[in-house]
Each structure stands twice: as C-alpha cells, then as structure tokens.
C-alpha cells in the first residue's frame, strides 16, 4: 500500500499497459466475465483495477469525473502526476469513477450523438466484490447467456441498453478484478 | 536509426491509448466505425496501416502472432508486416492458425474455426460500405445515424433485376446486430458466414481513420432479399494439392495454353491437410 | 507438379539489397553527402519539410538521399519519423510582421513601406540551360546590403485601414490539429489551412489553377508574398514568459481578391492566405487561392459546384502520403477478390448465355 501521488504507476510502462489493455478488451468484448487486471495502484479508496484502467486508457485528452469519496485531493494528485487528465464535470467526462450511488443520476453523462455514438462516458463503478452470479445477461460477446451481479437497480442498465446505439458503457472494479457491461448487453 | 530507438510495438504510448479507447468503443457499438487519429506508419497507407496500428495497440509480449495476406503467410506484404512486429514487439510468430493468439489478415478469414482466446485483426481499405454509393462522408454519416440504408438495398436490387443475382462477390455488406451496415473488408463473400465466431474481430482502416469491432458471437447477417437469399458460393472445384472441397480456392494459370488449377488460398490449412495425408488431383496442362 | 509460391522473405531481402545498390549508383562517381543535398538542393529540402510537417533540413536531406530523390517518398520518411516524436510543448503563433525578409513583393502596390525586395528568385531568369554549371559550379559573390531591421507591415493592413478589405476576426482559440484528431467535417478555416500547408504541391497547384481558369473564379492578386526567417517562441509556465527557441524560414502569401459583395457582405476585397515552411512560394500562392475558394460559404457566395469549393473533396484528396499509399497498394496481391470476381463474371455470362439460348429456342 502506498499513498504518495508519485508512486503507484506502472513499473514497466509499455508492457504493463499492454497486458492491462488486453484484460480491458477481453472484459468489454465478453460482458459479465470477471478478469484480473493489475499494474497500478492509486491512493485509497481507488482500487488497483480502477487505477490500472485509468492509467491504461486516460491522458490529457480524456476528462475524468470523480464521484463521492473518490473526489479527493490524493487521487487528484495521483491522476495529475501519472495521467495528466483534467478533472471534469459529469457533462464533459469521458471517464467517470465512483460508487454507483455517487454516480447517480447517470443521465448527466454524455451518451453520444446519433452521428457519433462513441462520444459517451465510460463509467468505472467501484464495488465491494464482483460476482459471476446475479442478473442474466445476453447480447454481443455472450454465447447464450451469462450471469453477473450488477450493483443497484437493474432497471438502470435495462434502460441504458434501450438507447442503443447511444448509451453509457460500464466497467466494474473491485480490488484487482474487472468486468464490463457495454450498452449492447441486455439485462433480464 | 535502429528499431531499439522506438517504443514497444513501435507506437508511442499516447497513440496506443487513443487507439485502445477507440477499440473499446468499437466493441461497445458493434459495426459502428469509430474515428481515430491514425498515424503515419513506416509502411504506406493502403498496405495495412490500420491493421498494424490495431495490432500494435493489442499485442503483448506473450502473444503468438500470425499474418496472412490473401490467406497466405508467405506473400510479400504478410512477410513484411510479420518482420515489423518481430523487430519492434519481439513477439513470437507462427504460420499455424491454431497456435496464433493474434492473427492479422488481409482479405481472408482462415478456414480453421477460431477460438474464444484468439483475436482476428482485419486490414480495411475503405471501411464505409456506403462509400461506393455516396462519396461524401458527411452524407454517409447521416445515413448511419438515421439507419437509412435504402440506397444499399436499391443497389443490390438493381443487380438482381439486371443480372438475376447480386453482383457483389467480395466486401459483401453485412448488417450487425440489426443496426449498422458494415463493410467486412474485401474478404470473399464465401467468408461472410464465418464472421459469427467466438474470437474477437477488430477492423483497422488507417488512411480512412476508422476502427470498428465485433465482440464474439455478435449477430452478423449478409444483406439479401427473401426471394434472393445470400449465397456464399465458391469455385466448384477441389484443391489440387490437398483435395479440400470446403476451402476457398485460388485459380492458378499453369501454362501458356490457359491450363489452370485450383488451390487453397489458406496455405496453413492446405499444408496441414497434406501433412495429414490428404492429396488432390494434380492437373497438368489441360484447359479445365 | 505445381507447388505454391514461396520465398517472399528472400525476395524482399534481395530487392532491398538491389535498391541500396541502385541508390548508390556508379561507385566511380563520388557519393553525395547529406550536407551537399541540404545546401545545394534547398528547394527540394523545403518541399520535404513543408509536406512532411517537420522543420529539420538535415533530416530532410537524409530523406532525399535515402529516397533517391523521390520527394514524395522522402516526405513519407519524414512523416513516419515525425509521428514517433514526443511533444515537449506548443509554440506561440509566429509573428510574420517581424520577419527578416529575404524576399517581399506586392503585385497590388508599386511601392510601399518596407519596400519591394526581389530576393533569390527564379522569376526573371531566362530559362536557358546553363552549361557552365555542368563544367564548374563556382560563382561570383552576390552584392550585399544590410537587412532591414524594422518591422515590415503587411500590405493588407493598408487596405484594412481604409475599410476596403474584409476584416479577419482575431481568435486566441487553440486551433484543431489533424495530426492528433481525425479530420472531421465541416472543417473550420484553421483546420483547412493546416491541411493545405502540408498538402501535395501539385494537387494544390492544380486546384488553384482551376480556380483561375474559371471553376469558381476568384480573381486573385498577390497582395503580398514574403519569405524570411521568423522567431519561434514557446511559453514556459515556470518562467511566466515566452522564450525564443529558434528560427524558421517560412513563405507567407496573402492574396487580395476582388469581391462584388453578396447577400451578406458589402463590396470589398477579400483575402486568401498561405503559409508554408521554407522558401516554397508556388505552394504558398496556390494555398492562398485554394483557401479563398473554400471560403465561399462564409462570404455568402454561391456554390458553383467547382472542385476547389468542395472542402470535403479538397481535404480528403490533398495528402500525397495517403494518396500514394492507396494508389500504390493496388500493386499488392488481390487474387482472392479477383477470384471472387472471376467466378461472378463467369456465372453472369453463363446466365446470359443460357437465357439467349432459351430465347432462340422459343
């Protein structure tokens, strides 16, 4: 455990990022599948998985919104030093990090436009644990169905998927574990 | 300058992050072309720079990399791209489809079924399936936004009324998850049905600055009409080398009299069949 | 017996070896040095720097040597190198009114403050092959005069003071950067200018020429053409002020175009703008004409359907590295797609032939 904003980056920048991205890609391509992702560790309470996702994907071009307890100076300093991303409002966030309750209401985040549906926020939702039990998921990346324990009210994710091709994409993190739920996934 | 002066897999980290973000959005919106700020690569635009950038952002040191062009591992451009990653990313390479974790391809999908631990990276010249009907990007973008694909159906139907069949034999357009019409890259339409697969498919168009993707098991339907269903036919022959009757074939002219034979375009598939003892019927000189 | 073609790797290695040999040429002739190219083929250097978007005469010279004088190939080498370079900072806009001018001419005024300076131009040379150069390149020294140290005002400002030329609105907004973001349309003027300054010289010239000949004619005068060195400064946040990090030579062209007024604008002169690395005046003038033509919408002019008015057409086809790559890629094997086409054509012919037979039989 470290707490300085100067620590907690990748020890082997290019290689760590390559492995981390592969984990992120597999997660996004196979919704609901829980995988390991490590390499970075930001100050608490940001998990290793969320730290690594941010360090792999974000830079000065990607505004980040920090919600609730994640909106603290130590995390901001860490992001500033390692990533250089601007801390932003919900409305201009490309990435957002927080507990689901602090990210609500999610309709404040951009969901993309009809011509550019990719211009939407990716929400990194920190959880106590990730479980491959729970809601039944189907859609691209899933052979028939799979299960994942979604946080909060499933209606939130159901209504997000009805907006397709617009919508938000989710990553769920806990410790060194990650899973994802893109807008295409249907939640039963 | 030696290649040591360059970053792992050639691209700088900021560029990789930009490409990686585009890949993730592509996976989240299957079939939608995500704009990305393609970089000049040390090979020309049109020679696989999109696929190379996607591979560069995807490869890890543990990967085993395979490159095919027209189905073959030893075509000159496939050799050139394979060497590039051997040098810049120090990855192991293979010609064996089943042993590869990342396969970069131009114009073919391997005959062997790919598994869920594999990634297929396509080189795409013109990612916009509507481009030949409407040259303006501003217009085609609107059509995708409004899901307005009438123009494409009219074109295909005109083919049928003129020729009795759809006169598109490669880069045959598909519809993804009932939403986006997508260009499968210039693969023969024979390969289209394979696109519903368990591997991740990534598409990179460097010059046109677009990345798109298909997660495993994504619904991919070749456009057709009820009275003219899609027909993934191939040349009605067997491979002269391995005897395969289920593979896509190249036609080879073997003498001045126009004698020709047909051989598998997937060289790895063909070689393995030969090693397993399969043989074809060699034709010699007769105009088939 | 037929076996599939093998040996792509050896063929490539051998081709590269042969290429290196051809590059060197006859070994009895002394090898060309990078310094010689930089000093004696400076206009080629300038084009490579301008279209390669990297101001480095030594690297441009190396690229020209490596590419055997194929300038588009040299530009490609520079672009591919440039894209790997990290960015340490962003410069302040260069101040061309403070340029140390080697050349400065105006076609609109006979004389003007700052004077007309012909500079090192081909303009009034007679294009007769100079066989003395083949024998002996020695030249007498050119006469010298102390350079003008004062600011050289822009010609357009004189018209501006009279209200006769359309005002350009000043903006401190950060311009878009097409080397970092994908080109998006509609493109604003800053983005169009960035694309044009690295555009292929031949393409830009052809587009400009078409506008002179009547495809969206925009009768242009060279209000001013100036070539010279300007300082490049970067702002250092720790210091709180900008420091000069070097000097570059640029060519700037401002055209003055007749404009009879439109639904939205009164009769006045309008401008086109060109700014290019190095002494590259054909390119800078062409750029200014194309810029002016692309401004039809903003100035309330009619869309005449001319190619030079079509931003999407111009911007998507002006980059010679994209164009040459895609053009040359048709040399790559296409036998899979071709095979698919072969089968299709055979089938179409068979269908047509059969239906003819049927008709004949009926």
Give me the sheet containing A146-148, strands edge to edge: A146-148, A135-138, A186-187
The pLDDT, as a whole number, for residue C339 is 86
DSSP code for C270: E
The pLDDT, as a whole number, for residue B145 is 97
The pLDDT, as a whole number, for residue C6 is 60
Structure tokens, C358: 């049927």
The pLDDT, as a whole number, for residue A146 is 97
- Contact of C76 with B38, CB cutoff 8 Å: no
Which of C63, C317, C339 would best serve as a mutation to test chain B binding (most B beta carbons within 10 A)? C339
Q: Is the peptide bond before B135 cis (omega within 30 degrees of 0)?
A: no
CA distance A26 to B258: 49
The count of other CB atoms within 10 Å of the CB of residue B274 is 17
DSSP, residue by residue, A64-127: EEE-GGG-SHHHHHHHHHHT-PPB--STT-SEEEE-HHHH-SGGGS-B--SS-TT-BPEEEEE-
**Taking CB atoms and an 8 Å limit, are B58 and A29 in contact across chains?**
no
pLDDT (tens digit per residue) in B52-63:
999 999 999 999
**Taking CB atoms and an 8 Å limit, are B8 and A117 in contact across chains?**
no
CA distance C298 to C284: 22
* Main-chain dihedrals φ then ψ at residue C355, nearest 5 degrees: -70, -30
The four Cα atoms C263, C266, C267, C272 give a dihedral, to 10 degrees, of -90
If you average pLDDT over every residue of chain B, what do you get? 92
For the structural domain made of A13-187, what CATH number should be given? Answer: 3.40.50.11310
β-pairing, B200-205 vs A177-181, is unpaired
Least confident of A48-57, C103-112, C144-153: C144-153
Structure tokens, C19: 């290429």
Pick the residue with more confidence: A7 or B123? B123
Residue appearing with tokens 């009324």: B161
CA distance B214 to B60: 20
Q: Which chains touch A (3 or more CB pairs under 8 A)?
A: B
Q: CATH assignment of B3-129+172-217, given 3.40.50.11310, 3.40.720.10, 3.30.565.10, 3.30.70.330?
A: 3.40.50.11310
Residue C84: partners with Cβ closer than 8 Å, 6 or more residues away: B6, B7, B10, B12
Q: Which chains touch B (3 or more CB pairs under 8 A)?
A: A, C
Collapse the DSSP code of C230 into the 3-class scheme (helix H, G, I; strand E, B; otherwise coil) and give the result.
strand
Active-site hit among B26, B31, B48, B115: B31
CA distance C200 to C204: 6
The CA distance from C356 to the nearest CA of chain B, in Å, is 13
DSSP, residue by residue, C37-92: HHHHSHHHHHHHHHHHT---HHHHHHHHHHTTT-HHHHHHHHHHHHTTSPP---BP
Pick the closest to residue B82 from B57, B52, B112 (CA basis). Answer: B52
Active-site hit among B204, B206, B238, B239: B239
If you average pLDDT over every residue of chain C, what do you get? 90
Residue C59: partners with Cβ closer than 8 Å, 6 or more residues away: C78, C81
The pLDDT, as a whole number, for residue C10 is 84
**Confidence class for position A186, pLDDT limits 50, 70, 90:** very high
Contact status of B288 with chain C (Cβ, < 8 Å) = no
DSSP bridge pairs for B65: B93, B102
**Taking CB atoms and an 8 Å limit, are C184 and B35 in contact across chains?**
yes
Pick from B7, B46, B78: which is nearest to C325 by CB?
Answer: B46
Pick the closest to residue C41 from C54, C58, C21 (CA basis). Answer: C58
Domain boundaries along the sequence of chain B: 3-129+172-217, 130-170, 233-288
Residues 246-275 of C with CB under 8 A from B: none
DSSP bridge pairs for C233: C244
Structure tokens, A20: 């981390």
Contact status of C80 with chain B (Cβ, < 8 Å) = yes
The pLDDT, as a whole number, for residue C1 is 46
Whether B264 is a known active-site residue: answer yes
**Taking CB atoms and an 8 Å limit, are B8 and A143 in contact across chains?**
no
Domain boundaries along the sequence of chain A: 13-187
Does the pLDDT at position A1 exceed 80? no
CA distance B187 to B203: 12
Contact status of C19 with chain B (Cβ, < 8 Å) = no
The pLDDT, as a whole number, for residue C148 is 67
pLDDT (tens digit per residue) in B190-249:
999 999 999 999 999 999 999 999 999 999 999 999 989 999 888 789 999 999 999 999
H or E stretch at A174:
strand A169-174
DSSP code for B207: T
Contact status of C86 with chain B (Cβ, < 8 Å) = yes
Residues 169-198 of B with CB under 8 A from A: 177, 179-180, 198
Residue appearing with tokens 């700020």: B37
CA distance A176 to B34: 29
The count of other CB atoms within 10 Å of the CB of residue B210 is 24
Whether B242 is a known active-site residue: answer yes
DSSP, residue by residue, C279-334: S-HHHHHHHHHHHHHHTTTTTT------GGG-HHHHHHH--HHHHHHHHHGGGS--
ipTM of the complex: 0.97
Share of chain B above pLDDT 70, in %: 96
Between the CA of residue C288 and those of C27, C44, C191, C257, C271, what are the distances in Å? Answer: 45, 21, 14, 10, 8
DSSP code for B192: G
């Amino acid at each position: 455990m470290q707490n300085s904003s100067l620590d907690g980056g990748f020890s082997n920048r290019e290689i760590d990022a390559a492995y981390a991205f592969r984990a992120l890609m597999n997660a996004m391509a196979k919704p609901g599948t829980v995988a390991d992702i490590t390499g970075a560790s930001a100050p608490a309470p940001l998990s290793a998985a969320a730290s690594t996702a941010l360090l792999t994907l974000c830079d000065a071009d990607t505004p980040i919104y920090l919600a609730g307890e994640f909106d603290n100076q130590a995390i901001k300093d860490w992001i500033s030093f390692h990533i250089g991303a601007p801390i932003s409002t919900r409305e201009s966030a490309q990435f957002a990090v927080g507990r689901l309750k602090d990210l609500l209401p999610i309709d404040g985040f951009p969901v993309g436009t009809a011509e550019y549906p990719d211009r939407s926020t990716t929400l990194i939702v920190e959880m106590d644990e990730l479980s491959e039990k729970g809601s039944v998921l189907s859609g691209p990346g899933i052979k028939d169905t799979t299960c994942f324990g979604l946080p909060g009210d499933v209606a939130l994710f159901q209504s997000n998927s009805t907006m397709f091709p617009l919508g938000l994409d989710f990553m769920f993190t806990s410790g060194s574990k990650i899973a994802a739920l893109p807008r295409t996934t249907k939640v039963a | 300058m030696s290649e040591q002066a360059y970053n792992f897999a050639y691209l700088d980290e900021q560029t990789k992050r930009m490409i990686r973000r585009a890949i993730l959005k592509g996976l989240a919106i299957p079939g939608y072309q995500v704009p990305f700020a393609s970089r000049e690569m040390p090979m020309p635009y049109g020679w696989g720079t999109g696929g190379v950038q996607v591979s560069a952002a995807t490869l890890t040191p543990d990967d085993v990399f395979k490159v095919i062009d027209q189905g073959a591992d030893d075509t000159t451009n496939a050799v050139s791209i394979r060497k590039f990653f051997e040098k810049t990313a120090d990855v192991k390479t293979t010609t064996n489809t089943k042993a590869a974790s990342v396969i970069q391809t131009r114009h073919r999908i391997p005959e062997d079924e790919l598994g869920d631990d594999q990634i297929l990276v396509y080189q795409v010249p013109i990612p916009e399936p509507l481009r030949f009907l409407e040259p303006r990007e501003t217009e085609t973008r609107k059509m995708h936004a409004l899901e307005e694909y009438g123009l494409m159906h009219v074109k295909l139907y005109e083919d049928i009324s003129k020729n009795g069949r759809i006169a598109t034999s490669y880069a045959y357009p598909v519809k993804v998850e009932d939403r986006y019409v997508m260009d499968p890259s210039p693969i023969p339409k024979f390969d289209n049905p394979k696109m519903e697969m368990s591997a991740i498919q990534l598409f990179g168009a460097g010059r046109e600055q677009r990345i798109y993707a298909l997660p495993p098991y994504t619904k991919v339907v070749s456009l057709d009409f009820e009275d003219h269903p899609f027909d993934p036919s191939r040349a009605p022959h067997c491979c002269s080398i391995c005897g395969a009757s289920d593979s896509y074939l190249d036609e080879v002219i073997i003498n001045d009299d126009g004698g020709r034979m047909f051989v598998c375009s997937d060289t790895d598939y063909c070689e393995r069949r030969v090693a397993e003892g399969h043989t074809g019927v060699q034709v010699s000189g007769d105009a088939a | 017996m037929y076996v599939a073609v093998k040996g792509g790797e050896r063929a490539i290695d051998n081709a590269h070896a042969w290429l290196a040999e051809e590059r060197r040429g006859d070994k009895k002739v002394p090898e060309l040095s990078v310094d010689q190219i930089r000093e004696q083929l400076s206009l080629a250097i300038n084009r490579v720097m301008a279209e390669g978007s990297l101001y480095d005469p030594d690297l441009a010279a190396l690229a020209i040597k490596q590419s055997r004088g194929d300038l588009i190939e040299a530009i490609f080498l520079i672009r591919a190198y440039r894209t790997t370079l990290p960015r340490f900072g962003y410069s302040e806009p260069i101040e061309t009114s403070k340029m140390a001018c080697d050349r400065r001419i105006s076609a609109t005024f006979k004389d003007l403050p700052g004077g007309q300076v012909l500079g090192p131009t081909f303009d009034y040379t007679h294009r007769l092959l100079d066989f003395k150069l083949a024998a002996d390149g020695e030249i007498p020294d050119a006469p010298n005069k102390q350079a003008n140290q004062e600011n050289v005002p822009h010609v357009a400002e004189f018209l501006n003071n009279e209200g006769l030329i359309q005002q350009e609105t000043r903006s401190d907004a950060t311009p878009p950067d097409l080397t970092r973001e994908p080109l998006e349309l509609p493109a604003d003027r800053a983005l169009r200018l960035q694309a044009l300054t690295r555009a292929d010289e031949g393409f830009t010239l052809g587009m400009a020429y078409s506008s002179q000949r009547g495809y969206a004619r925009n009768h242009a005068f060279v209000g001013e053409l100036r070539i010279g060195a300007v300082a490049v400064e970067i702002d250092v946040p720790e210091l709180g002020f900008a420091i000069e990090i070097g000097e570059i030579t640029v060519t700037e062209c401002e055209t003055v175009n007749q404009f009879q007024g439109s639904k939205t604008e009164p009769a006045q002169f309008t401008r086109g703008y060109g700014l290019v690395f190095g002494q590259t005046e054909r390119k800078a003038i062409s750029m200014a004409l194309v810029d002016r033509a692309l401004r039809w919408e903003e100035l309330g002019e009619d869309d005449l359907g001319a190619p030079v008015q079509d931003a999407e057409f111009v911007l998507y086809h002006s980059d010679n590295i994209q164009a040459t790559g895609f053009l040359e890629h048709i040399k790559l094997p296409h036998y899979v797609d071709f095979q698919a086409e072969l089968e299709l054509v055979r089938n179409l012919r068979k269908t047509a032939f059969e239906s003819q037979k049927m008709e004949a039989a009926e």
